[in-house]
Amino acid sequence: MAIPWVTKYRPKHLKDIVGNEESQKSLLKWLESWKNTDKSKKGVLLYGPAGTGKTVTVEAAARDLGYDLIEVNASDKRTGDALEKTAGLAATQGALFGKKRIILLDEVDGINLNEDRGAVAAVGSVIQQTSSPIILTANDPWDPKIRPLRNVCALIEFKRLSGRDCLPYLKRIAASEKLDVDEKTLKFIVERNEGDMRSIINDLETLSSGRKTLSYNDVASLAWRDRKENVFGVLGMIFSAKNALWAKKAVDVADVGYEMLFEWIYENLPNQLRDPEDLANGMEALAKADVYLTRIKKYQEWNLLPFAFDMMTAGVAVSKERTKPAWVPMKFPQRITYLSRTRKERASRNEIAGMIGRKCHMSTRASVRQQLPYICFIFQKNPSMAAKMVEYFGFNEEMIEYLAGTEKRASKIISLLGPIAE
């Protein structure tokens, strides 16, 4: 199997890394003085755009200085318990044979507070207790959720790479691959990716696939890459992609989450794939993506996420075989609009079902399915029995109106009661 260029040409030593020399020196200085550092700054946060060499610099520094490197992706370890268990043990336990150790917590700004609000606190705790240097990386250091981490870390910025930084390295890769490519073409690829070395190398490999010569004309017609593409641009990348690899890049530049992106694709697919067979194939790919997303949510199997991305981007893109090109405007997902309109109603329903469940010793979900329809029927048909239920369950006036269906029926039930608690 061919090794991807981004892996094949990953720098092994600090001298091989292009750009951000001052940042590398600052990191080395921090590592050398770590034992004497202020106890409130036992960690360092490397920040800057993607592809500027933050992670590879840590890997190379560990190799050059003789450290063991323990690497943890903070956005993959979805809970505070998982982070503390993985990173905490590594940070506090001694290394084999007394060898020095560095703990790398990658992508701390990717921690999902919706999954676990204790994750950032867990990282802060690990930093305070560590007996080894801890290095964090982030694209956006000013994200409010990681503010506590900024306060306990030294900060080192990694800046976006320039063409002057990238070109010599790209020329060495081209020479190694026996690829004939001129400087103008390489500059275009660098500028198009705005100094993201990982994306630059990926694009160079993709564009040169199956050829030994790459010219400016071969790449100049390609769309410019926005580091954060709005959803309309992302959908355009998917529905007009010439190949699967280009469609998959849409996920990297989307300015919406993967669930919202799925809804946008689902809403617009019928208008974009107008041939019935194309549409059937595209919907089948989306259905498979939905299966993966459901399993991810249910079982926390986050390793399945790339398969979902592949189905909802590349799977949809390659389904477009017979549909003739035409401009069709994108529509906002109607399911999102509907859910927004009914959010308050669903919240009321779930609150009522929760109160029923506590009295009947059952879950909220079971209450919604098994009890709520019958209670609504009673509230709409039998006010006196409904009044007894209000006293038993402790419903307030808003809940009574929801169950009764109309203000008139709710008023009749309320008239049979004494004062109702708000």
Q: Tell me: the pLDDT tens digits for 339-375?
A: 655 667 778 888 999 999 899 898 888 888 889 999 9
User: pLDDT at residue 38 above 60?
Assistant: no
pLDDT greater than 90 at residue 58: yes
* Mean pLDDT (whole number) for 304-314: 91
Q: What is the pLDDT of residue 102?
A: 87
Q: Which position has the higher pLDDT, 342 or 223? A: 342
**Measured CA distances, 42 to 22, 27, 123, 181 (Å):** 21, 13, 12, 46
Task: Extract the tokens encoding 382.
Answer: 């039998």
Q: What is the pLDDT of residue 74?
A: 56
Give the start-end residues of each E strand in 48-138: 68-73, 101-106, 134-138
**Using CA atoms, how far apart are residues 196 and 48, in angstroms rounded to an integer?**
11
Residue 52: which of 98, 84, 77, 19 has the closest Cα?
19
pLDDT at 221 over 60: no
Among 69, 80, 76, 137, smallest CA distance to 103 is for: 69
Model confidence pLDDT, tens digit, residues 224-261 = 444 445 677 788 889 988 788 888 888 877 777 788 88
Are 5 and 204 in contact by the 8 Å Cβ rule? The answer is yes
pLDDT at residue number 331 = 82
Question: In the chain, what is the straight-line distance between the N-terminal and C-terminal CA atoms, in Å?
Answer: 67
Give residue 315's pLDDT: 94
Mean pLDDT, range 75-85, rounded to an integer: 51
Number of H helices, E strands in the chain: 25, 7
pLDDT of residue 81: 55
pLDDT of amino acid 227:
46
What b/e sequence results for 370-389 when a residue is b if at least 16 CB atoms lie within 10 Å of its CB, and e otherwise? Answer: ebbeebbebbeeebeebbeb
**Mean pLDDT, to the nearest integer, of 321-333?**
82
Across all residues in the chain, what is the average pLDDT?
Answer: 82
pLDDT bracket for residue 78 (50, 70, 90) = very low
Give the list of residues 6+ apart from residue 188 with CB closer than 8 angstroms, or none: 216, 219, 220
Place of tokens 């991305």: 309
pLDDT at 94 over 60: no
Run of H or E including 154:
strand 153-157
Statement: residue 187 has pLDDT above 60: yes
Give pLDDT tens digits for 262-303: 999 999 999 999 999 999 999 999 999 999 999 988 887 888
Kindly state the average pLDDT of the residues 107-133.
Answer: 76
pLDDT of 220: 65
pLDDT of residue 285: 95
Between residues 254 and 22, which one has the greater pLDDT? Answer: 22
pLDDT at 422: 47
Q: Is the pLDDT score of 77 beyond 80? A: no
Write the CA distances from 353 to 83, 271, 308, 417, integer angstroms: 35, 39, 33, 21
CA distance 27 to 45: 10
> 3-state SS of the chain: helix, strand, coil percent to 5?
60, 10, 30
Residue 153: strand pairing partners:
43
Percentage of the chain beyond pLDDT 70 is 85
Model confidence over 139-167: pLDDT tens digits?
888 877 888 888 888 899 998 888 888 99
- Rounded average pLDDT over 303-322: 91
Average pLDDT (172-183) is 92
